[in-house]
Amino acid sequence: MLKTSNNIAQTGLRTLFVLQLLIKGPISKNDIIEKIAQNPYLKNVAQDTITLDINTLKAAGFDIKTGNKSNGYCYELKLNPIKIKLSKSEIQAINITKKAMFDFMDFRYIVNIYSTFEKIVKFIFSKEDALSILNFGNFLKVDFTLLKELDVHCKHKNEIEILYQSPKNPNEVLPVKCIELKYSKKNDKMYLWCEADKYEGVLYLRADRIKKIVKILKFNNELKLNQKTVCYAIKRAQTSPLVLEDYEKIIKITSNYILIRANYLNKFNLIQRLVSFGEDLIFVDSDEIKEELKSFVQEIEEMYN
């Protein structure tokens, strides 16, 4: 069943990619194959497969003209105003494709594919189906133009000033040193990884709370991330399954406990992580982190008392 779902997702992603290429302008079969080979998320294909993809798009209602020698045998897309009716199985295939995108695709491709979907749904007969296709969850709460700008600043490690809507301050002007943009599967949100002199360690700022880039402060920073290491142990028999974070690694398993090493950049996030284990957390090798945990728990107790 998993293999079938993966095949459907791969076919769906490839067909959408071919459509993207056609929307940009006339393109030959060989050029389509070359573009697919350059896409890290798609498998290489033969010419017959491209013919099948083109026929699939035609069957879906897209008017695609097959070229001749005069235009280099390029396919040319002419969008057909006829509304497309989709079956339940076809909607399911599209949703499988979307899930696959969020599971293994870079957010840059997702933004491009969403733009393609926006053009496609204009020709969907059912408004309900159109809304289903455009349902990209919390990802849509981020301004795509802003996302692209942040991506450029992360690439060059620029220092910028942003207007950030934090829970405590709805209009905080915050100077940050850009590191990376990342999508979290846990809560379906985009985050800007950055450094700020005002806070200790690396910050993970929700991209949907960044209202705008106020100004650029400095180009091409040389970042030296202060990564720290702590080891902790949790009970072997936990109340919930153990899911490791990217910065964690299991270094020992016994009949009673699991020993984990964490190379962390943000102490606040680490404390929240350790607190989440509750009584299952039985050992921490850092006195500094122990004190932070005690203070955190005391603050929570005082809040409820």
Residues 73 and 166 grouped into a single domain: no
CATH at residue 187: 2.30.30
Residues 112 and 171 grouped into a single domain: no
Chain segment 40-99, per-residue pLDDT in tens: 889 999 999 999 999 999 988 888 998 888 888 899 988 765 677 888 888 888 888 888
- The pLDDT assigned to 85 comes to 84
- The pLDDT assigned to 176 comes to 93
Examine the pLDDT at 266 and tell me if it is beyond 80.
no
Residue ranges making up the domain that contains 270: 228-304
**Mean pLDDT of all residues in 102-115:** 82
Domain total for the chain?
Answer: 3
**Mean pLDDT of all residues in 28-32:** 95
Residues 182 and 244 grouped into a single domain: no
Chain segment 199-219, per-residue pLDDT in tens: 877 888 999 999 999 999 988
C-alpha to C-alpha distance for 65 and 67, rounded to whole angstroms: 6
- The pLDDT assigned to 239 comes to 65
Task: Categorize the per-residue pLDDT at 224 as very low, low, confident or very high, splitting at 50, 70 and 90.
Answer: low
The reply to whether the predicted model has a pTM over 0.85 is: no
Residues 274 and 232 grouped into a single domain: yes
Domain boundary among 135, 159, 191: 135
Instruction: Please check whether residue 217 is in contact with residue 159, taking contact to mean a CB–CB distance below 8 angstroms.
Output: yes
Radius of gyration of the chain (CA): 24
Domain boundary among 135, 159, 192: 135
Residues 112 and 68 grouped into a single domain: yes
- Asked if residue 151 belongs to a domain, the reply is yes
How far apart are the two ends of the chain, measured CA to CA in Å? 52
Among 9-13, 49-53, 262-266, top mean pLDDT goes to 49-53
Three-state SS for 197-258 is CCCCCEEEEEHHHEEEEEEEEECCCCCCCCCEEEEEEEECCCCCCCCCCCCEEEEEECCCEE
CATH at residue 93: 1.10.10.10
- Asked if residue 223 belongs to a domain, the reply is no
**Mean pLDDT of all residues in 138-147:** 84
- The pLDDT assigned to 61 comes to 80
Residues 91 and 127 grouped into a single domain: yes
- Asked if residue 97 belongs to a domain, the reply is yes
Domain boundary among 191, 218, 245: 218
Residues 191 and 262 grouped into a single domain: no
Q: Kindly give the residue spans of alpha helices, DSSP state H, lying in the chain.
A: 2-24, 29-38, 47-59, 88-104, 107-120, 127-133, 144-155, 267-275, 287-304
CA-wise closest residue to 106 among 45, 169, 148 = 148
C-alpha to C-alpha distance for 130 and 121, rounded to whole angstroms: 5
C-alpha to C-alpha distance for 179 and 155, rounded to whole angstroms: 8
